[in-house]
Structure 1
């Protein structure tokens, strides 16, 4: 490919990928809350050995999907803890937890309460502690 063609291609791709998203401040507040939750979970596990992060998933009718992912790099493990669906307006945030539980959160307090309640579930806690054991 010639330099001129490459430059033309890059211009086209840049035009297509121009960030034209329209989201509310609440949308960004929800992402900050999810990232803070991920950081808090990571801090309680093995912060230098286990990574907990928020990864974007598919865009669906409920909003942009974000996955709360626990990674144990040394064991090549990646475990999706939960899914959050965030609309452009920010709320309501729909959570996909387990056993068909799909609470809808109208504000940050409800979001935090639902995720903390989820972490408190014995099966979830056991899964996180098992990942911690593998990482140790």
Structure 2
């Protein structure tokens, strides 16, 4: 396991390495004791079910699910470079060139359009 790159209400995300391919992956690690409450467990199961259906260049891909006694681990595509929020903060005066803004916006819209075409609404889109 590598460094932690994210944290949510129920899980942490760490960088991992898929040894057979030497490919970096993101590992979303849920501690099972945090999923004891039925609504949380239902929410995570729904997330997994939706991610398994998603195959789009602008949506993180789920590769594998590992279920142990203590953890549920989602092995996902790793996309380096940080968050959009971090990218914007690093820009002079927190502004991006029009070309870059259009490119980013187009990628976001294409990903959202793909979700909507499958009757999926994200409900939590943010720069982080």
Task: Give the structure-1-normalised TM-score.
Answer: 0.27
- Structure with the higher helix share, 1 or 2: 1
TM-score after normalising by structure 2 = 0.28
